[in-house]
Structure 1
Amino acid sequence: MGDLRDLLRGLEVFAGDLPDFDPAAAPDDPVELFTEWLLGAVAAGVREPHAMTVSTADAAGSPSARVLILKNAEPGPGGGWQFAAHRASLKGRDLDQRPYAALTFYWQPLARQVRVRGPVEPAGPGPSAADFLARSPGARAEALLGRQSTVLADLATRDEAIAGSRARVEERPDLVPSEWTLYTVRAEEAEFWQGDRERNHTRLRYRRAAGGAWRRELLWP
């Protein structure tokens, strides 16, 4: 245990050349700044920059978190951050009970983090179906099973079930499970965190004010 503690304390953080961040020049809408940072992560070669941790809670308040892929982000009063899930999954059940989520993006080479939280709204059948059909055949086959997070007897059982589901996808490429849902996080808060080697981190938080306008404020590191 002591060796692990020493190893962890010795690992380098915030290495390399880090980008500048001037909060005074940030746009009025957090989705616009998020898009700038996301495109910057893409240009910097960050792997899977659209991956995010989605945190939810069940009816008793017990939290769960997992990494999902961002599907879209749109500015404006009707915009938000989107992801998709099967409503019978753990996250889908959480969102049915408590329609609220937190999203966390971390682009390690740039020492940049974005945190978003707010109520979650499910989309209708049309947008949800369009999202499902845009997935790869393998991803659709797995989702059609509707068994995520349930107990699995062995890997052979998994492989057999997925093979059968993939055959269904090949026979009916337009097949969409009714439980597949596209969700939008209507952010109440969005924080942008720029790390600094000397720990002089810069934090800018957007908070939704009355009437829907955004208010910006700096936070202590």
Structure 2
Amino acid sequence: MGENGPAGSIRDLLRGLPVFDTELPGFDVDAAPSDPVALFAEWLTSAVEAGVREPHAMSLATADAGGQPSSRVLICKDLGADGTWYFATSAGSRKGRELAATPYAALAFYWPEQGRQIRVRGTAFAADAQRSAADFLARSPGARADALTGRQSQVLDKPSDLEAALRAAHAQIEADPEAVAPGWTLYGVRAEEVEFWQADHDRRHIRLRYTREDAAWARHRLWP
């Protein structure tokens, strides 16, 4: 495309968008907790109190056996004191299959209202069946019905097929409120590295990285 074609228009649109055009909170690295779990809890609480929309939404990046990556946004379900972030999905989904082939994952939270990012990287594992079932049963009826169709990421030829499958799933829930979708799995990502990133209007962004060292965490401030 030429300079004035769609590509140029998109480029101009992107370059014209404001960045960090809000009041940004401070980040005193020297006063940060000794472990990333405590700092995440502080930042999450601050985000909720500041009215950040869906602060529990995070991107999940996985890779298949050939190293080809994919990412998507989903909900963080829990955070363990040992530095394990949790989410849930079907083991038969694309992300479930990729985690089985390559049990490593990266997570990212982004809260634009505060100019904050949190990046997590570590080893992924499946929780036991009891915890996975408990997670499933805590979902809304609609979310459970969707999972019970068992066809996530498959090709949908006709919308009517989806409607029929959902009707059958809702009927199954009514008949058996304790029904759990086969393959529903709670996954954990045991962090080996966690980075907290605070934007600065002068682009002197503040970055603090925690790296797991046995039972403790090492902390390093990074260049912007």
| TM-score category, normalised to shorter length | over 0.9
1:139 is the counterpart of 2:143:
yes
**In structure 2, what is the equivalent of residue 185 of structure 1?**
189
**In structure 2, what is the equivalent of residue 86 of structure 1?**
90
**In structure 1, what is the equivalent of residue 3 of structure 2?**
none
* 1:152 Cα offset (Å): 0.3
* 1:178 Cα offset (Å): 3.2
The 5 Å alignment of 1:61-210 reads 61-76=67-82, 79-209=83-213
The 5 Å alignment of 1:19-30 reads 19-30=25-36
Q: Percent identity?
A: 58
Alpha-carbon separation, structure 1, partners of 2:96 and 2:153: 12
* 1:10 Cα offset (Å): 1.1
Aligned-partner SS, 2:134? helix
* 1:159 Cα offset (Å): 1.3
Deviation per CA, 1:45-73, whole angstroms, max 9, x where unpaired?
11111000000001000101011100001
**In structure 2, what is the equivalent of residue 214 of structure 1?**
217
Aligned-partner SS, 2:58? strand
1:11 is the counterpart of 2:17:
yes
Which runs of no fewer than 5 residues in structure 2 stay unpaired?
1-6
Alpha-carbon separation, structure 2, partners of 1:66 and 1:3: 27
The runs of at least 4 consecutive aligned structure 1 residues that moved more than 4 Å come to none
* 1:149 Cα offset (Å): 0.6
Aligned-partner SS, 2:219? strand
Alpha-carbon separation, structure 1, partners of 2:158 and 2:181: 25
Q: How many residues align?
A: 218
* 1:3 Cα offset (Å): 2.1
Which runs of no fewer than 5 residues in structure 1 stay unpaired?
none
Aligned-partner SS, 2:191? coil
* 1:34 Cα offset (Å): 0.7
Deviation per CA, 1:147-166, whole angstroms, max 9, x where unpaired?
11100012121112111111
- The letter of the residue matching 1:185 is V
Counterpart contact for 1:30–1:75, Cα < 8 Å:
no
* 1:93 Cα offset (Å): 0.4
**In structure 2, what is the equivalent of residue 33 of structure 1?**
39
Q: Which moved more, 1:86-95 or 1:4-13?
A: 4-13
Alpha-carbon separation, structure 2, partners of 1:159 and 1:190: 41
CA-based RMSD of the aligned residues comes to 0.9
* 1:18 Cα offset (Å): 0.5
Q: Under a length normalisation based on structure 1, what TM-score does the superposition of the two structures give?
A: 0.96
Deviation per CA, 1:83-127, whole angstroms, max 9, x where unpaired?
011000000001111111000000010000000010012111111
* 1:202 Cα offset (Å): 0.2
Alpha-carbon separation, structure 1, partners of 2:10 and 2:183: 44
